[in-house]
A and B are shown apart, each in its own frame.
Chain A
Amino acid sequence: MKRPKLLDDPKRELWLAWYATICFYSLYAIVFFIVTRTQPPGKPWYDPTQVVAWFAGRHEGLLIGFALIFVLGGLSATSIALITYSIRRMSVSRAYSYSYLIIYAVSAVPGFLFICVAMTVGAMRPDRSPEIQRWLYDLGFLSFSGTMGVFLIGSLIWMTAILLDKNRVFPKWFAYLNLCNALTEVVVAPSWIFHTGAFAWNGVIAWWINVVVFGLYTGAFIYLLRCLILREDFGTGPLPDLASKRWHQIFPAEVGVS
């Protein structure tokens, strides 16, 4: 019997990590936006009674959705691993990849898991005191939106590594996109102060604009990680180009330089 092609592909682990990344982000979007409806975030100005009603309206969704996250959320490790791999492939110190790995591993706790735990606890006993329910509601949303600053340093590390890299693992424009993403992470900080308006945790500036930028940034890096795997030669020098014309549009400055 003929062995499937994928088993002989030396890049099979990389592809596995890449597809796991796609699965993770799809799961993330479905659970947060559709199943639990915790994104866009609830209103920060809700009083305890409104918060209890908010939990009641999402009871099953919160329990089922976040149960899925507790089972499959570990897939987020694959995207972090793949990004760390990409930094290791660059001609920069390993300190960059280790710092990135540690920052993202740590920041996943307040920025991703806290909201799941807080909202699940809130949904589990809807007869609890409304004041405590509001406390859980605030904890969930503030930890999710208000801790974006932790990710800022990760973006800056990735940006610096790309700018210093001579192996052309990522195009330079993506380094600058990292800077744009980092700068929009800064503007979420006021969500700790305001209950209403553009700077509250569900505000136009603190959430909506930030999410659009983050969405574009995530799409760009998933695409570029795919390009990295296609170009990977398992060497230590500059990565070879892809043959396609589109690749030359991604790397306009480097065409013909390799």
Chain B
Amino acid sequence: MTTTETPASLLPTKNAKHVPGQPDMWVFVLFESLVFTSYFCVYLYARTQHEGAFLRSQAHLLLWLGVLDTVVLLTSSWAMARCVQHARAGRFELAKRDAWLTAALGFVFLSLKIVEWVRLIHMGNTFTSNQFFQYYFFLTAVHFVHLLIGFVVVGVLILQLKDAKRRRQETVETCATYWHTVDFFWVLIFALLYVVR
């Protein structure tokens, strides 16, 4: 374990009233939350119009696979939170390890999602099969794209942690904010697609 001396700029100010990371990233969080909320409203409205058909299609999803997806992604969020904590304490080697763990768990999630898509397509449930699967593939694919961007974000985070000259706690927290937001969207998607009956 390597503990590097922490410059004062890297440490959070005690009792300082500010959001974690760049305040600008919270514009993204807010805006994307509104956009996703609008998608969810459209989905729920469609669901009320064809409740029986949606329930029959929903039965084709494996709830345990959705739970596994969620557990994997929430664990990645936990790893990211540990990464931020380690970076705050100046333990950059540990922070880097947790950032790699976050990316690895993200990769596991993406692999599970691809397995699930392939399974559904083999069963004849494609993007054009019916309304439920239109929304299912749309919401999971949009989330998938967000997660792909998340890998770029984690890449930036790892580069920052590697280079002592570039390290900024604000960037670490900004990257973490993005990752947690994407995880948060998944929890909502999981609840709406897999759980709500």
Take A197-B134, A198-B46, A204-B42 as given contacts and tell me if A173 and B27 are in contact as well, using a CB distance cutoff of 8 Å.
yes
The reply to whether B23 and A176 contact each other, CB–CB distance below 8 Å, is: no
Q: Is A183 an interface residue (CB 8 A)?
A: yes
In this complex, how many residues of chain A approach chain B with their Cβ under 8 Å: the count is 24
Q: How far is the CB of B173 from chain A (nearest CB, A)?
A: 12
| Chain A contacts for B38, CB-based, 8 A | 209
Among B28, B128, B138, point to the contact of A176 (Cβ < 8 A): B28
Asked whether, in the complex, the Cβ of B24 is within 8 Å of the Cβ of A193, the reply is no
Q: Least Cβ distance of A205 to chain B in Å?
A: 6
Decide: A209 near B27, CB < 8 A? Known: A183-B145, A186-B142. Answer: no
How near does chain A come to B121, taking the closest CB pair, in angstroms? 15
Partner of A172, one of B22, B31, B127, B135: B22
A205 CB contact (under 8 Å) in B39, B128, B145: B39
Chain A, range 159-178, C-beta contacts under 8 Å to B: 171-173, 175-177
Interface SS of chain B? helix
Complex Cα spacing A45 to B101, Å = 48
User: Are B142 and A190 in contact, with the CB atoms below 8 A?
Assistant: no
**Considering the complex, which residues of chain A in the window 195-231 have a beta carbon less than 8 Å from any beta carbon of chain B?**
197-199, 204-205, 209, 213
Chain B residues, CB < 8 A from A171? 24
Given A179-B149, A198-B42, A209-B35, verify A187-B138 contact (CB < 8 Å).
yes
B153 nearest CB across to chain A (Å): 11
Neighbouring A residues of B27 by C-beta, 8 Å:
173, 176-177
Q: Closest B residue to A179 by CB, please name it.
A: B28
- Report the nearest A residue to B29, measured CB to CB: A176
Task: Say yes or no: is B6 at the interface (Cβ < 8 Å to chain A).
Answer: no
- Please tell me the number of chain B residues within 8 Å of chain A, measured between CB atoms: 24
A30 CB within 8 Å of chain B: no
Interface-centre pick from B22, B135, B149 (highest chain A CB count, 10 A): B22
Is A237 an interface position by the 8 A CB rule?
no
- B113 at interface (Cβ–Cβ under 8 A)? no
Contact indicator per residue, chain A 135-178, by CB within 8 Å of chain B (1) or not (0): 00000000000000000000000000000000000011101110
Whether B146 sits at the interface, judged by CB under 8 Å, is: yes
With known contacts A186-B145, A193-B127, A176–B24 Cβ distance under 8 A = yes
Residue A180 interfacial (CB < 8 Å): yes
User: What would be 14 A-B contacts, judged by CB atoms less than 8 Å apart?
Assistant: A173-B27, A175-B24, A177-B27, A177-B28, A179-B28, A184-B35, A197-B131, A199-B134, A204-B42, A209-B42, A213-B35, A252-B23, A253-B24, A253-B170
Q: Interface of A with B (CB < 8 Å)?
A: 171-173, 175-177, 179-180, 183-184, 186-187, 190, 193-194, 197-199, 204-205, 209, 213, 252-253
Given A179-B28, A199-B138, list of 18 further CB < 8 A pairs?
A172-B22, A173-B28, A176-B25, A177-B28, A180-B28, A180-B31, A180-B35, A183-B146, A184-B35, A186-B145, A187-B138, A190-B134, A193-B128, A194-B134, A205-B42, A209-B42, A253-B22, A253-B170
